[in-house]
Chain A
Amino acid sequence: MTEHSPSALPAFRVAPSVAPTTNTHLEIAGVTKNFGSQSVLKGVDLSVAKGGTTAIVGPSGSGKTTLLRLIAGFEHPDTGSISLSGFPVAGNGVWIPAHKRHVGYVAQDGALFPHLTVGQNIAFGLNAGKIDGGRRAVNARVSDLLEMVSLDAAMAKRRPHQLSGGQQQRVALARALAREPELMLLDEPFSALDAGLRVATRRAVAKVLSEAGVTTILVTHDQAEALSFADQVAIMRAGKLAQIGNPFVVYTRPADRATAEFLGDAVILDAWMEGSLATCSLGGVPVRRPPAQGRVQLMLRPEQIRIAPDGPIRGVVVDTDYFGPETTVRIKLAESNAPHRAASGNGHRYPGGGEVITIRHWNASITKPGTELCLRVVGEGVAFPQEREHGQE
């Protein structure tokens, strides 16, 4: 399953509906949805730019798939509105059903029609009677689409069950692309694939979609997938979007602790914030735009904490997990690190001390349990206001 660039891209026609407003393709405003007594979406606002890729990421049950189904038109929102290219499609008494929205949709398992061949699946949305050249043109289009998703044209004769999972997903994508949708919705399309195939398929799909210039929304529970796929990531938690931003920003400057921990491993330490410097067991760490002064929680990514012979911070290795290319190292920080603040006599003492933190390192041989290490912090930390009940890493 190698990926080579599609040689002949069919010309994608410009969407007939030119947005009266600017560059916004999808606009979701104040959307709520209940299933029975269960409130699944509690007021979601999201706007997606034309041609952009947005990933909606969140734990299972957070409502992300429901949001996607509302955009596709499979469900009605209870309140709020959805508009595509400036035209309302749902909410405020408007309802455009799924088949009139011109929105492509690729389901988790591909949802290929088992009674049709691959070619018939791809041609399902095409109407031979309305296309110049009839059957022949449809067949040519099917071949083009197969080529676009890097599948052999001979596959058109196969049945869905004769394909691998990755191939099925590509066919589902080709089928959705056949009608040249302006907006493509992907509902965890890679989650059923095994790890290696998942990455390859994801890259192939991203490439096809960006070359076709289709606005794409991906729903996933895999934060690495979201960060690598999209140029806008929306983190969904308990029916609300906790943060929306580009992948680098949401990863390095998460809005709250839960988002920080969802997007990746995080080292969280009690700290004392003064100006833009947070003091903690790892010494003074700069923080951009701190939300509070005094006691805060400081978040660092494990890769920001490096083992360095000249590092100012001391810690003792507690235990390690060896993974081959890297080793997870648990380090107990010294009780008496960075005492200068307490000694400076201005009445404040930095909180914490003696915490156990988890970092990653490539060299297992220098991280034997009991070894004392010197550490250094690279870059900025993120401060969160102190929580009532504080749990530590």
Chain B
Amino acid sequence: MSLLAVLIALFSLVPLGYVAYMTVATGWDTAVELIFRPRVGELLLNTVMLTVITVPLCLVLGAGGAWLVERTTLRGHRWWAVALAAPLAIPAFVNSYSWVSAVPSLEGIWSGVLIATLSYFPLVYIPAAAALGRLDPAIEQSAASLGLGSWAVFFRVVLPQLRIALTGGALLVSLHLLAEYGAFAMIRFDTFTTAIMVQFQSTFNGTAGNMLASVLVFLCLILLLAEVKSRGTARYARIGSGAPAKATRLPLRHYQLPAQLSLAAVTVLAFGVPVWFVLRWLIAGGSEVWAADEFLPALLQTLMYGAVGAAVTIVVAFPMAYLAVRRPSGFSKLLELSNYVTSSLPGIVVGLAFVTVTIRAVPGIYQTAGVLVAAYVLLFLPRALVNLRSGLAQAPKELDEAAQSLGKAPLTSFVRVTLRLTAPAAAGGAALVFLAIVNELTATLLLSPNGTRTLATEFWSKSSEIDYSGAAPYALLMILLSAPMTYLLFQQSKKVAGQ
């Protein structure tokens, strides 16, 4: 197990190693020349501004929504709880496509902020809602009994306990902002990722593109560090045993209507608009957009890549999860960290790394399905890890030992108890990886074998040719495939939080 985990961790360091190697190989002078130029400054400004404006907006929408849904007498809060997670089922580049069709003049940073906020605020909402649901109301009641009013309780007791969920959510949003290609390319808003893609398409494997990638990786690492710092070392856990009491909900009274209206507005903008425009283009396109000879292969290939990628990811993640749960040590943490860093890298960097490494080291496998699946595995490993870890936690080693004391050989008891009990969590993790692969665009564009058509790449090529009607069926299918997975993710966040 350990050996496997080490091999996987080493493999996952390929992209990071590539970036480091390229930066060194370029030579100091050239690197400085390529990095410190007005174009990079412009991209940096764009990217930083986008992040600085979008993340707080996502935090407000996500945490506010979670609070309304979980802690107030909001009417229909069960329904709203799902509605606020729903925009996650719409890939950002589909969102962008719909907004461009709605307002063709959309361009620049503010449209970037609009689309990014609407696409990514559920990444804050879901963990925040889960954390709020889990908070022990007794702590809030203690605060109230110490003389704090409702608002003071919220700011001094509730919000600090949400810190882990909020910083985690903010990190996810920032990483998505750095990595997103399609959504920003469509509104002609330049970030590092779109610029690297342009470089790649014009000069294939140019030094300039590589240096942009180095800066992008540097930004990612800074974000990871910042998150680790701000999360701190404190643990917010319930102390003591027994079932937690049910939280009381704050009466909204005459804020009920404004709350309902603002949630409705968010849902309409984030979910209604994209779905509406996809459907409109679909109707406008009539039956000819469903041309089976183009459409079916794309669907089949997407499903195939999704299924294979998900299965391989689960298999690869298992040794790591097993080590982390059963034999936690500094070593297992290091292994996890190496994966975590890699998966935080934008798809474009992982894609570039695989392109370069395969061409230089093993040209025979360049642009084969195997390399693409390997890239998917690296990008989405943590989704499987999180699930497998909680699944393995449901299968404590005491059960394994019980089976052994009942006369089962270690391998038998491992299969019949540990693997069997981890199976549901593995299926959940596989579903999430599947969802991610279905919507993956950037690395797929870079690495897919010639003639490969996935839903995402087909959608992308059609909408790049301004064939919006032709792109609509692919958008619809991506949304439909994502919907159940989004629901699953939402349910799971509640479960992980112990509800």
Contacts and interface: CB of A to CB of B under 8 A. Distances in A.
Interface of A: 72-74, 97-105, 107, 109, 111, 113-115, 124-125, 172, 175-176, 178-179, 185
22 contacts: A72-B401, A72-B405, A73-B404, A97-B410, A98-B404, A99-B405, A99-B406, A99-B407, A99-B410, A103-B405, A104-B405, A105-B401, A105-B402, A107-B402, A111-B399, A113-B399, A113-B421, A172-B402, A175-B406, A176-B405, A179-B407, A185-B405
B393 interface: no
A111 B398 contact: yes
Contacts of B399: 111, 113
Contact of B406 (A74, A109, A114, A176): A176
A172 B402 CA distance: 9
A109 B401 CA distance: 13
Contacts of B421: 113-115
A74 B403 contact: no
Interface string B378-398: 000000000000000010101
Given A97-B410, A99-B409, A99-B413, A111 B402 contact: yes
Contacts of B396: 111
A-B CB proximity, top 7 nearest:
A125-B406, A105-B405, A98-B404, A111-B402, A111-B398, A99-B404, A99-B407
A176 B406 CA distance: 7
Given A113-B417, A115-B421, A102 B402 contact: no
Contacts of B417: 113
B420 A98 contact: no
Contacts of A113: 399, 402-403, 417, 421
Given A99-B413, A114-B421, A115-B420, A107 B407 contact: no
B408 interface: yes
A179 B401 contact: no
A72 B400 CA distance: 13
Contacts of B407: 99-100, 102, 125, 179
A74 B401 contact: yes
A133 B231 CA distance: 61
Interface in B398-455: 398-399, 401-410, 413, 417, 420-421
A74 B404 contact: yes
Contacts of A124: 403, 406, 408
Interface string B208-251: 00000000000000000000000000000000000000000000
Nearest to A105: B405
A172 to B, nearest CB: 8
Given A105-B402, A107-B398, A99 B408 contact: yes
Given A99-B405, A185-B405, 15 more contacts: A73-B404, A97-B404, A97-B409, A98-B401, A99-B407, A99-B408, A100-B407, A102-B407, A107-B401, A109-B398, A113-B402, A115-B421, A124-B406, A125-B408, A176-B405
A72 B397 CA distance: 14
Nearest to B417: A113
Contact of B405 (A98, A109, A114, A115): A98
A113 B418 CA distance: 10
A392 B232 CA distance: 46
Contact of A179 (B394, B406, B420): B406
Residue from the set B398, B403, B405 with the largest chain A CB neighbour count within 10 Å: B405
A378 B399 CA distance: 50
Contacts of A97: 404, 409-410
A111 B408 CA distance: 15
B498 to A, nearest CB: 16
Nearest to A122: B406
Nearest to B396: A111
